[in-house]
Chains A and B, each alone.
Chain A
Amino acid sequence: MRVHVEADRCQGHNRCYAIAPELFAVDDLGNASELGDGTVPAGFEDKARLAAVNCPEFAIVIAE
């Protein structure tokens, strides 16, 4: 599973970072991005899904 934050949709709500800091980072402006290449380590799949369904801007894409 991989996660990806679409930068042009992210508005910096930081819901993903609050839910799954193991998968996302935020920059100094508060905008989010996936950590590394977005590969979700085993055991973090649920957190990845939760991050995606809580994003108010529909900015998180999951590829399984």
Chain B
Amino acid sequence: MTASPRPPVTDWSTDFDHTDPGWVADPYPIWDDLRDRCPVAHSDRYGGVWLPVTHDGVAAVAYDTEHFTSRQVIVSEVKPGEWVPPAPIGAAPPITSDPPFHAEARRLLLPAFSPKAVAGYELFTRELCRRLLDGMAGRETVDAAIDYAQHIPLKVIVNMLGFPEEDGEIFRRFIHMIIEDVGQTEEERIEQFVTGEIDAYIDARIAEHLEHPRDDLTSFLLTAELGGHRLEIPHVRGTMILLMVAGIDTTWSAIGASLWHLAGHAEDRRRLAANPEMMGTAVEEMLRAYAPVTMARLVSKDVELGGQELKEGDWLLLPFPAANRDPAIFPDADRVVLDREVNRHSAFGLGIHRCIGSNLARMELRVALEEWMARYPEFSLADPGAVTWSAGQVRGPRRIPVRLG
């Protein structure tokens, strides 16, 4: 169903592709190389896309909402045309919104994701983790991504939205369609979004909640007011799609990457098992070293960046994971240091679009690691060659066979 695979990358500074198998398997040496010779790379692929790889370059774009719009934050073969609502709202507010609308749409959601609100989901998350670990009892090998990591954020978000618990599979498919199928043709992508099943599914849940309001995020969105008016249904639908897409794949990736690291680095695993009080810095270090999310922007006004001339309409990838490996900011940037005390990482972005779910994601990652380490402090990669990583702007392991004990 997808377009034919693109040709292999020949030069990462002039022809990079974030879906190339080399990037998917191990992007860090690519960014290290680019950081040394051209801090802002370009590729003609996807209709033209830029890539800053230093912390300074990434931060400069994240803070510049005048020259860069968030109208479309996933680079694909299709630039937004009439099928994506225009700035400043965008298809999935507030992540696709620009100032000044952005602040209002964000303010509406913030209380639902404050540290206090998130604490209310910790017990649910902990019990969920324990049930998943119970299910592994007696097995010699399990898949830390498939049997554990992927279920945690999925079930937490389904619970928050008040959707049927058994709809997890449907969610997983939608996420793949939106985030990983970036090679689709224009027709396929438009079909999927405009007349597609994602909207139909969400609309059915909205209808149920309008008929029977409940104490959940869906009913909250349907009764929330912006400027004295209830949110338009497309705004509610867009925000729900945002929560599904941004809240699941991402945290699943962070949990999986952390377990993958610990399975492959016995000294770190033993150190964390022996020092559970190290979990606070360990979680931040995993987020720094394996930050899953690369955002994107469209250039809205011609601008210069790192000596390059960016033109209106160009794509720009915003790789926070590359910023987090910049040796100018982080000593031993490519080494995981579980007790790294000074760790000003930007795994959740910088500026006005700081991930609204960062408190939720941190809680889920911490609880998932605490519960796993308490139950199975001894584990290792059963087949390192069988580990696979997702392609696209959310990077995380999708298969992690581990041996328990």
Pair A14/B359 contact, Cβ less than 8 Å: yes
Pair A13/B342 contact, Cβ less than 8 Å: no
Pair A13/B280 contact, Cβ less than 8 Å: no
The proximity string for B residues 94-135 relative to A, scoring 1 for CB distances below 8 Å and 0 otherwise, is: 000000000000010011011110000000000000000000
* 18 A–B pairs (Cβ distance < 8 Å), ordered by A: A11-B350, A13-B354, A14-B115, A17-B115, A26-B116, A28-B110, A28-B111, A29-B110, A29-B111, A29-B114, A30-B110, A53-B342, A53-B344, A54-B342, A54-B343, A56-B346, A56-B350, A56-B354
- Chain B CB count within 10 A is highest, among A30, A50, A54, A57, for A30
Give chain B nearest CB distance to A33 CB in angstroms. 14
Whole-angstrom CA separation of A54 from B359 in the bound complex: 16
Pair B280/A18 contact, Cβ less than 8 Å: yes
Pair A30/B346 contact, Cβ less than 8 Å: no
A30-B114 in contact given A12-B354, A14-B359, A50-B341 (Cβ < 8 Å): yes
Chain B residues whose C-beta falls within 8 Å of the C-beta of A30 in the assembled complex: 110, 113-115, 359
Give chain B nearest CB distance to A58 CB in angstroms. 8
Pair B345/A56 contact, Cβ less than 8 Å: yes
Say what secondary structure dominates the interface of chain B: helix
Which residues of B pack against A, CB within 8 Å?
107, 110-111, 113-116, 280, 284, 341-346, 348, 350-352, 354, 358-359
Whole-angstrom CA separation of A57 from B359 in the bound complex: 16
Pair B115/A13 contact, Cβ less than 8 Å: no
Pair A14/B358 contact, Cβ less than 8 Å: yes
Chain A residues whose C-beta falls within 8 Å of the C-beta of B346 in the assembled complex: 56
Which residues of A pack against B, CB within 8 Å?
11-15, 17-18, 26-30, 50, 53-57
Pair A54/B114 contact, Cβ less than 8 Å: no
Give chain B nearest CB distance to A19 CB in angstroms. 8
Pair B341/A56 contact, Cβ less than 8 Å: no
Whole-angstrom CA separation of A56 from B280 in the bound complex: 16
Give chain B nearest CB distance to A14 CB in angstroms. 6
Given A14-B115, A26-B114, A56-B345, 11 more A-B residue pairs with CB atoms under 8 Å apart are: A11-B351, A11-B352, A12-B358, A13-B354, A17-B115, A27-B114, A29-B114, A30-B113, A54-B342, A56-B346, A56-B354
